[in-house]
Amino acid sequence: MSSEQTPTPEAAEEAGPRPGRLTAAAALAALEGLALVVGGGWMLVGGLTGHPDDRTSAITGGVTLIVLALLPLLAARGLLGRRGWSRGPAVITQIMALPVAYNLLQADSVAIPGGIVLGVVAVTALVLLVNPTTTQALGIRGPGSAEE
């Protein structure tokens, strides 16, 4: 990563206030991260205190979700700090959320509203992340626009 793609805090302040689209994208990424932490904690506690079919799977699943929550949480922090590197993890999080939303929509249960919400959040965050205002605020230049 070059310093041109990761503006310093001073350069970010000189560039003006953080765009609302960038703040909204960071909020959505943080919301997804928090949901993963809550879901992982619920699985972990259920695996330790309840009577799951497979205690090891419940504990492993809970720990996995909590660790996976680091990706969107770090991305959200980077987006708020206008770090160019943070867009990649945020986009990856949204792309990973789309198949999960699709699977939730295929369920014949209470999971369908969760799938709708997750799908809407993922698509909205993707639109916000690829928006030119967001890209410019993060100091990311498009292909072919590198200075020589």
pTM of the predicted protein model: 0.82
75 sits in which H/E element: helix 70-80
Using pLDDT thresholds of 50, 70 and 90, give the confidence band for residue 16: confident
Tokens describing residue 81: 């700090």
Which tops the pLDDT comparison, 8 or 122?
122
Q: Domain ranges in the chain?
A: 17-137
Choose among 65, 86, 88: nearest CA to 77: 86
| 94-132 pLDDT per residue, tens | 999 999 999 999 988 888 999 999 999 999 999 999 999
Distance CA 102, CA 145 (A): 36
The one-letter amino acid code at 50 reads G
| 67-83 pLDDT per residue, tens | 999 999 999 999 999 99
Give the number of other Cβ atoms within 10 Å of residue 42's Cβ.
Answer: 13
